[in-house]
Amino acid sequence: MTTLRLVLGDQLTRDVAALRDMAHGDVVLMVEAAAETTYVKHHKQKIVFVLSAMRHFAEELRAEGITVDYIKLDDISNTGSISGELQRAVIRHKPSQVILTSPGEWRVLSDFRALDLGVAIEIRDDDRFFASTERFAQWAEGRKAWRMEFFYREMRRETDLLMEGDQPAGGQWNFDSDNRKRLPKSVQVPQHFGFPADAITREVLELVGETFADHFGDLAPFEWAVTRTDALRALDTFLRDALPNFGTYQDAMATGEPFVFHAAISPYLNAGLLTPREVCVAAEREYIEKRAPLNAVEGFIRQILGWREYVRGVYWLKMPDYAETNALDATRPLPWLYWSGDTDMHCMAEAIGQTRRHAYSHHIQRLMVTGNFALLAGVAPKQIAEWYLVVYADAYEWVELPNVQGMSQFADGGLLASKPYISSGAYIDRMSDFCKSCVYDVKLKSGPKACPFNYLYWAFLIRHAALLRSNPRLAMPYRTLERWDEGHKAAVTAEAEAFLDGLAVE
């Protein structure tokens, strides 16, 4: 009897749960669904990456002798949805059962659970993560405050990564305080490693160029790896050229340098071309064999073993309500500059320009430039969350939403982050070279030449004083605000409002 095994576009791992115990005669179904490419208008490069990686994966399975029923986006009879294609495939193959790996999005899982195909459906856990959703729920149960750091320590103990017996390597769990340096001119950033497009990718580039011309983002240069082999090469290059400096310059930003010392592997991890475990083990080996220092390796592993697992746990425990959170009652429409990049704020233009060109920007640009601005401006969480889901090649809701609602926009009221990630222009100036070539003056607090981040920062604190004043991590700025008279506060608020009201919206 035939088993039909569905593989989704972010499940491109040979060992993914649905592909285990394959038997002779089984059929693997892969679907390019229009609904998934357009429910938000994804960046063109993100669509190329996913479709090309899917087509390459299907070829690899076929090369093993596996039967793959692959439905292309432009196949005449493609119904446009995964469930529609599953129904058609059940009629074609008459399987005794359908097996799939649990999808990474709440909406899609709910659809599958409600689906009646007339045959048994088995939805297997996605065990490519270090912690199952049950493991995270068990950790979270009964805790008053969830903090990534404590979850991460348990993960270190459970995986034995960077452990010396029951103690953390180097005697410390966290080397964050060593990891906040600005990029000096004397330090050379490694060359970004891009991959030339092969025939399959060229065909997809053409398809996407024609079909999704009105989507955000440039199609070229398309440099992402689309096979596991190339993703492993990208990882090796990162480990050799960038990891030793990853920690020290983790928060640094520089004009014309989107990648700095970051790995740019998140699309590969999220689509399944690389697994989190192999990446962490490979990074740990660099420390053990003394090719990379502990602050770099610990900082890197924490992102994957800590943050990546943590946000996934939060997502599955808190959805669907999590998507509706808006603790700060933010309602401003997303300014048009997020799409056009057309702004005099050099930091914003740089972050959005890199995003347009590469479908990538590194964490601090997402958090402290575009995220910070949206938070200070009071942009509605749903609108900024959709922007992040659209524009990055690595964006899948399970990882994007908690990063936006929780870490970046404080929409969950502090469940994920202990304080809102806000800053004035001073932080951006400290961590980048952006302010030197900006029309605004980062040192000025008010007036037409003043850096907008400065008055927006204080206006935000004034606006949310009732909610945030008692937060110990914001004690310092609120002490400063106590010394301001009401007239000063009103003037700063008015300047911020006037600036924001002057921004075009769609």
Closest CA to 46 of 388, 311, 307, 363: 388
Can you give the C-alpha Rg of the chain in angstroms? 23
Taking the complex as a whole, the smallest distance from the CB of residue 338 to ligand FAD amounts, in Å, to: 12
User: Of ligand FAD, ligand SF4, none, which one sits near residue 435, judging by CB under 5 to 8 A according to partner kind?
Assistant: ligand SF4
- Contact region with ligand FAD (CB under 6 A), list: 43-51, 59-67, 190-198, 386-394: 386-394
DSSP string, 172-240: -S--GGG------TTSPPPPP------HHHHHHHHHHHHH-TTSSS---S-----SHHHHHHHHHHHHH
397 neighbors 107 (Cβ within 8 angstroms): yes
Single out the residue of 89, 234, 395, 492 in contact with ligand FAD (rule: CB under 6 A).
395
Query: Strands 120-124 and 97-101, how do they pair?
Result: parallel
H-type helices in 106-196, by residue range?
A: 106-114, 133-140, 148-159
DSSP state of 286: H
Q: Is 438 an interacting residue with respect to ligand SF4 (CB under 6 A)? A: yes
Residue 429 contact partner, candidates ligand SF4, ligand FAD, none, CB within 5 to 8 A by sort of partner: ligand SF4
3-state secondary structure of 335: strand
- Choose the one of ligand SF4, ligand FAD, none that binds residue 148, judging by a C-beta under 5 to 8 angstroms depending on kind: none
- Copy the structure tokens of residue 272: 């399944």
- Closest CB to ligand FAD among 251 and 495? 251
How far apart are CB 452 and ligand SF4 at their closest, in Å?
6
Rule CB under 6 A: is residue 374 a binding residue for ligand SF4? no
Residues 449-478 vs ligand SF4: string with x where CB under 6 A? Answer: --xxx-------------------------
Of 345, 375, 417, 459, the one binding ligand SF4 by CB under 6 A: 345
When CB distances are held under 5 to 8 angstroms depending on the partner's kind, the choice from ligand SF4, ligand FAD, none that residue 93 binds is none
In whole angstroms, what is the distance from residue 376 CA to residue 388 CA?
17
Alpha-carbon distances of 436 from 111, 341, 400, 443, rounded to whole Å? 50, 19, 31, 11
Residue 82 binding partner per list ligand FAD, ligand SF4, none, with a CB distance cut-off of 5 to 8 Å that depends on partner kind: none
Which of 13, 227, 248, 270 contacts ligand FAD by CB under 6 A? 270
Binding segment for ligand SF4 (CB under 6 A), chosen from 6-14, 122-130, 351-359, 423-431, is: 423-431
Name residue, tokens 């912690």. 131
Compare residues 58 and 435 and give the one whose CB is closer to ligand SF4. 435
Q: With CA atoms as reference, report the closest residue to 459 among 449, 444, 445, 473.
A: 445
Q: Does 346 bind ligand SF4 (CB under 6 A)?
A: yes
| CA distance linking residue 26 with residue 119, whole number of Å | 15
* Residue 451 partner contact from ligand FAD, ligand SF4, none using kind-dependent CB cut-offs of 5 to 8 Å: ligand SF4
Which conformational region is residue 364 in: left (phi greater than 0), alpha (psi within -120 to 50 degrees), or beta? alpha
Residue 271 to residues 5, 80, 285, 386, 395, Cα–Cα distance (Å) = 17, 20, 24, 19, 10
Stretch that binds ligand SF4, among 20-28, 115-123, 329-337, 433-441 (CB under 6 A): 433-441
- Nearest distance from C-beta of residue 352 to ligand SF4, angstroms: 12
Nearer to ligand SF4, 18 or 438 (CB): 438
Q: Which of 425, 455, 457, 461 binds ligand SF4 (CB under 6 A)?
A: 425
Question: What angle, 0 to 180 degrees and rounded to 10, lies between the N-to-C axes of helices 133-140 and 148-159?
Answer: 130
Q: Six-digit token pair at 218?
A: 């440039």
Q: Which does 337 bind (CB under 5 to 8 A by kind): ligand SF4, ligand FAD, none?
A: none
β-pair type (27-31, 3-6): parallel
Q: Is the four-CA dihedral 223, 229, 235, 241 of positive or negative sign?
A: negative
The count of other CB atoms within 10 Å of the CB of residue 256 is 9
Residue 504 Cβ vs ligand FAD, minimum distance, rounded to whole Å: 22
- Residue 422 lies near ligand SF4 (rule: CB under 6 A): no
Q: Give the whole-angstrom CA distance, residue 138 versus residue 129.
A: 16
Q: List the single partner that 42 binds among ligand SF4, ligand FAD, none, CB under 5 to 8 Å by kind.
A: none
Write the binding mask 293 to 332 for ligand FAD: x where contact by CB under 6 A, - elsewhere: -------x--xx--xx--x---------------------
Binding-site member from 93, 318, 346, 366 for ligand FAD (CB under 6 A):
366
Q: Which of 460, 479, 383, 472 lies closest to 422, judged by CA?
A: 460
Stretch 401-430: interaction string toward ligand FAD, x if CB under 6 A:
--xx--xx----------------------
Burial of 185 (0-12, 13-18, 19+ CB in 10 A): exposed
Site for ligand FAD (CB under 6 A): which residue of 296, 367, 369, 459?
367
- For binding to ligand FAD (CB under 6 A), which residues are involved? 262-266, 269-270, 300, 303-304, 307-308, 311, 362-363, 366-367, 371, 388, 392, 394-395, 399-400, 403-404, 407-408
- For binding to ligand SF4 (CB under 6 A), which residues are involved? 345-347, 425, 428-429, 434-435, 438, 440, 442, 451-453
